[in-house]
Chains A and B, each alone.
Chain A
Amino acid sequence: MRDVIVVGAGGGGAVIAKELACRGLDVLLLEAGPRFADPEQDWRHFESDANNPASGYFRFGPADRSRPPWVRELAQSTLFVQLSGVGGTTNHYQGNSPRAAPGVFTDYEGADRNAYDIDHLFPFGYRELLPYYDWVEHTLPVETAPMGLKEEIFFRGAQQLGLPVERTKDITRAAFRPQQNAILQPRGNAGRTSDPHRLVFPRAEGCTFCGHCSQGCFEPLGAPINLKAKRSTSVSYIPMAVTCDRWSPGGRAVTLLADAFATRINTDAQSIARSITWRVGTTGEIITEEPHVIVLTSSTVETPRLWFNSGLPNPNGWVGRGLTDHFVDAITGVMPFDTGSTIWCFGSSLE
């Protein structure tokens, strides 16, 4: 019997799979969408190719792009972004990696405690979470981002408004700072030229300031997959996970199955989860396996969906609550000077 089956190879599942496998557990990692094993071949800079809601490679749908995307009915008029595939939504985020506000946890005692939603605090303490933040931030790594033109203008605006500079990893007050992001620092020619011939690894390392984070990062060209600039789990944790046997004493390589859509957690008479069933997208084959442990990390939307559809209990009422998601924070302001044209679509270091 396998030790662990992890459902979802995105921001959470890839981390858990790597951490368990490098300690010697036998881990199967299931991912409903595509494998995304070769970013330079799989991805492009064109928004039409990447994020077309119907056929884009970052849609929520099967690996076969000729087939329609998966449908989710929503209880209200809303818009949220789902992405299937190894790496999950870390493939199209901009690397922004802030910590959650301490005020939304049970151990917060700040003077502004009542400014938070104290009726729905996360049911554990911030201090309990900190060691895990530290470890993930070290592993990715998460570092202070450099400036481009947009960042420089933004910082001037923030200073003009009188906002203080945040100097800690933790969020302590209304402030601004260069963002902590999971993008490798620019080195060599990176950020210093737009000539593609000079942006090839190793002449360029880290972020090339291309601005195409949301179409999937495959820069610098020619870099090994684990040295692509933006640290999506598909290029950071997954390469570590599938090679645990080679770099971690006693470790075992994670078995990664893409195109495998988990459809049900099967329980016994006592409502104990015993096995998991998934569907192979290309063949329609239905497979059930019984591991010692099942870990659900298939996003803030799909995890509670699978949980409820499987008839699992919800004794503390937290299934489907506490929704946290990468969302598009945008600030609009009018500057008293010409900021120049729109050179590229996303900034690397705004926070």
Chain B
Amino acid sequence: MALLAAAAALARATDLLTSRGWVQAAEVATPDLLHDTFNGLLAFIVPGPDDYSVAQGVSTVEPGGVDIGVTDILLATLDETTPFLPQFSATVAGILNGIALVVNPSPGGTFLSPFACLSFAEKAAVFQIMDGTDSLKPLAGVLPAFVAFFCYSEAAVFDPVTRSLTGHPIAWDLSSYQGVSDGRNEFLGYFENRREVR
């Protein structure tokens, strides 16, 4: 819902997107650049031991967003749900990389994506700039939550055809979640035996 509102806000801001070169960048974005950009985003939202997390200077021993393996699902979902805004994922990548070069014109690093080459603090600065730009504010608000949803749900191992899991979700371990169940042995009675209010 909020994702679509963010896309709608971008669709209304074609002048801004064009003047900053983000539309043009989206049109020539390669699959490798898109993967690099979104891996950099996944590492920012849920750091892990992967190269993108290490490069940003914030990493963990436990698996993170890149390890969970939702990059392709993220890209596909962004594009399939916004038919009114072609190449939505590429547009998002164009915005992240364009603002990354404003934050740090020479980020260095080995990744194709300037955003993926930023430090963790510099990535936060990218979102700060987006949050201060009216047409980008909805995207800045929803993108972290959207990415986190895919990281912490079963998305990486969920088969939409059979509506079942093809493996054990890494995120369940990350959050110490015991997994789905039809019920739990949890009933502890009633607080002070209170059964009603009047």
| Contacting residues of chain B (181-198) with chain A, CB-CB under 8 angstroms | 181-192, 194-198
State which of A71, A144, A155 has its C-beta within 8 Å of the C-beta of B8: A71
The stretch that binds B, out of A24-32, A192-200, A246-254, A274-282, is A192-200
Partner among A46, A79, A155, A166 whose Cβ is within 8 Å of the Cβ of B197: A166
Q: Which of B141, B145, B182 contacts A199 (CB 8 A)?
A: B182
State whether the Cβ of A45 lies closer than 8 Å to any Cβ in chain B.
yes
A204 contacts which chain B residues (CB < 8 A)?
A: 183
Q: How many residues in A have their beta carbons less than 8 Å from beta carbons of B?
A: 67
Interface window among A53-61, A231-239, A304-312, A316-324: A53-61
The reply to whether the CB of B19 lies closer than 8 angstroms to some CB of chain A is no
A168 CB within 8 Å of chain B: yes
Tally B residues with Cβ within 8 Å of A: 53
State whether B1 touches A344 (Cβ < 8 A).
no
Q: In the complex, which of the residues A53, A80, A144, A199 contacts B183, with contact meaning CB atoms closer than 8 Å?
A: A199
The minimal Cβ–Cβ distance linking A10 to chain B, given in whole angstroms, is 15
A286 to chain B minimum Cβ distance, whole angstroms, is: 21
Check: B61 CB closer than 8 A to any chain A CB: no
Main secondary structure of the interface of B (DSSP, over half): loop
Contacts of A166 in B (CB 8 A): 197
Interface string of B126-163 (1 = CB under 8 A from A): 00000100000110111001100100011100101001
Which residues on the A side are within 8 Å of B177 (C-beta)? 342, 344-345
Are the CB atoms of B198 and A169 closer together than 8 Å?
yes
> Is A47 an interface position by the 8 A CB rule?
yes
Residues of B within 8 A of A160 (CB): none
Determine the distance from Cα of A193 to Cα of B185 in the docked complex, in whole angstroms.
4
A37 within 8 A of B: no
A191 to chain B, nearest CB (A): 3
Partner of B158, one of A46, A177, A180: A46
Smallest CB separation, A249 vs chain B (Å): 30
User: Considering only CB atoms, which chain A residue lies closest to B76 in the complex?
Assistant: A54
Alpha-carbon gap, A178 to B193, bound state (A): 10
Contact A178 B194 (CB under 8 A): yes
Question: CB distance A151 to B197 under 8 Å?
Answer: no
- Which residues of B (155-182) have their CB < 8 Å from a CB of A? 155, 158, 160, 163, 165, 175-178, 180-182
Q: How far is the CA of A151 from the CA of B192 in the complex (A)?
A: 12
In the complex, chain B residues whose CB is within 8 Å of the CB of A245: none
Query: Which residues A73-91 have CB closer than 8 A to chain B?
Result: 73-74, 77-82
Asked whether, in the complex, the Cβ of A44 is within 8 Å of the Cβ of B163, the reply is yes
Nearest neighbor of A80 in chain B, beta-carbon distance: B1
Q: Inside 8 A of A349's CB, which chain B residues have their CB?
A: 191
Interface string of A191-218 (1 = CB under 8 A from B): 1111010010000100011111000000
- Beta-carbon contacts under 8 Å, B1-39 to A: 1-5, 7-9, 12
Check A81/B197 contact, CB under 8 A, given A147-B188, A190-B183. no
Does B105 make an interface contact (CB < 8 A)?
Answer: no
Whether A55 and B77, one on each chain, are in contact in the complex, defined by CB atoms closer than 8 angstroms, is yes
Asked if B189 and A341 sit within 8 Å, CB to CB, the answer is no
Encode contact with B along A318-351: 1 for CB under 8 Å, 0 otherwise. Answer: 0000000000000000000000011111000100
Residues of B within 8 A of A48 (CB): 153-155, 158
Complex Cα–Cα for A238 and B31 (A): 48
Q: Which residues of B contact A169 (CB under 8 A)?
A: 197-198
What's the Cα separation between A72 and B187 when bound, in Å?
Answer: 41
CB distance from B125 to the nearest CB of A (A): 18
Residue from the list A53, A69, A149, A168 in contact with B149, Cβ < 8 A: A53
Complex A-B: 15 CB contacts under 8 Å: A52-B149, A53-B4, A55-B81, A70-B4, A74-B2, A77-B140, A78-B2, A186-B187, A191-B184, A194-B183, A199-B183, A210-B183, A219-B182, A221-B182, A344-B181
Chain B contacts to A: CB under 8 angstroms: 1-5, 7-9, 12, 77, 80-84, 131, 137-138, 140-142, 145-146, 149, 153-155, 158, 160, 163, 165, 175-178, 180-192, 194-198
The residues of A with any CB-CB pair to B shorter than 8 Å are 44-49, 51-55, 59-60, 68-74, 77-82, 143-144, 146-149, 151-152, 155, 165-169, 177-178, 180, 186, 189-194, 196, 199, 204, 208-212, 219-221, 341-345, 349
